[in-house]
Amino acid sequence: MIRELDTVVLTRDIPEYGLTIGDIGAVVHTYQDGTTFEVEFVTAEGKTIALLTLVATDIRPMRSREILHVRELALA
């Protein structure tokens, strides 16, 4: 179950924002249906890249044995 303030992982590319599978975001709002979420993606400096409305199939919870990875943001 995904809840507000959870850290989540993107499961599909969103090229218009330069986001790719595996990018990490934070759930800032959960809609009443429990399957739609507002997710914020930020740079390492805390600058918001995107605040998107996503559905449960677009994101997944982070797993305890995953390691974070850094990449340069490449906007189209």
Residue 69 lies in a domain: no
pLDDT at 65 > cutoff 90: yes
Question: Domain range spanning residue 15?
Answer: 7-61
In this prediction, residue 75 has a pLDDT band, given cuts at 50, 70 and 90, of low
pLDDT at 9: 98
Residue 29 lies in a domain: yes
Question: What strand order describes the sheet that includes 48-55?
Answer: 48-55, 36-42, 24-30, 7-10, 59-61
pLDDT at 74: 77
Residue 53 lies in a domain: yes
Residue 73 lies in a domain: no
Tens digit of pLDDT for each residue in 5-47? 999 999 999 999 999 999 999 999 999 999 999 999 999 999 9
Q: pTM for the full model?
A: 0.92
CA end-to-end span of the chain: 33
Residue 68 lies in a domain: no
Q: How many domains does the chain have?
A: 1
Q: What is the CATH number of the domain that holds 35?
A: 2.30.30
